[in-house]
Amino acid sequence: MNRRIVGLIVAILLAAGATFLLVQYVTTADERAREAEELAEVFVAQGDINPGTAADDAIAQGLIATDEIPARAVPDGAIGSLTQIEGLVAAAPVYQGEVIVSQRFGETVAQPEGVLDVPEGLEAITVEAGIIDGVAGFVQPDDAVSVVATLTLPEEDVDEDEVDDPDAEATAGGTRTEYLVQDAQVLAVGQRVVTTAEDGTRQSSIELSNERYIFTLGLTPEAIEQLVFAWQEGTLHFTLLPQLDEDEEREPIDTPGRSIVDIFED
């Protein structure tokens, strides 16, 4: 009987020892693998960097620092020096833990001390848009956009004896969607914030929300009146136009507008 008990205890001890050794082997396998493979130094985001944030500001705030990762995991375009992004701004969101690549940063129009360069003959106006109606954040400075407005028009009395269109009475009022402004120049995206350091130097950065987008457009005074009225009384959607070559010009597109009466017509 005693032999059986002793044998059982020995078996339990051997099993526990084997389990401990197996766990130790598994937990150190990853560490041994990392020690065996080549590591590379990269720059990694220490926090989220919003689009439009100046790289110099992100560096000064400690949002970019060096780290080591396996060389095989280094993405294409990973920067090897902070000088590669100096003077640039984040063109897309950079998330905490992400390796900094040159594709995430691009050039922007320099505006001394936050001054906005408004083209001659135009005036700047800022409007706000959501994720969907603001083209999902793809709009950047120097892009061209068009604005589509939806408004509810008042009903009007139509004398059937004076018109030949049998649908004239139906189309006299109601909700209507139509292009309001076409080919508007985007002067800026986001809210520019200018701060003064202790040494008197001024730095500007752009604050963007993940839910709302702020567009500053260059428009004629007449177009601004139309845009403000539609913004106050209806809803706006923005469309992003394709880039043109320097020698190309964009022709305005004539559209009929749409209402419940003609929504399915060609």
For 68, 70, 78, 83, 102, the CA distances from 73, given in Å and listed in that order, are 10, 5, 11, 22, 16
Q: Tell me which amino acid residue 3 is.
A: R
Average pLDDT over residues 120-148: 88
Q: Which residue has the higher pLDDT, 109 or 187?
A: 187
* Closest by Cα among 220, 215, 223 to 190: 215
Percentage of the chain beyond pLDDT 90 is 30
Domain ranges of the chain: 39-106, 116-259
Pairwise CA distance, residues 183 & 200, whole Å: 40
pLDDT at 165: 54
User: What are 98-111's pLDDT values in tens digits?
Assistant: 999 988 888 753 44
Round the average pLDDT of the chain to a whole number and report it. 79
Average pLDDT over residues 223-251: 90
Q: Which CATH class is domain 39-106?
A: alpha beta
Average pLDDT over residues 121-142: 87
In this model, does residue 16 exceed pLDDT 70? no
* Residues near 151 by beta carbon (within 8 Å), at least 6 away in sequence: 175, 176, 230, 233, 234
Average pLDDT over residues 29-36: 59
Q: How confident is the model at residue 125 (pLDDT cuts 50, 70, 90)?
A: very high
In this model, does residue 134 exceed pLDDT 70? yes
Q: Tell me which amino acid residue 228 is.
A: V
Indicate the pTM of the whole model.
0.49
Pairwise CA distance, residues 55 & 96, whole Å: 15
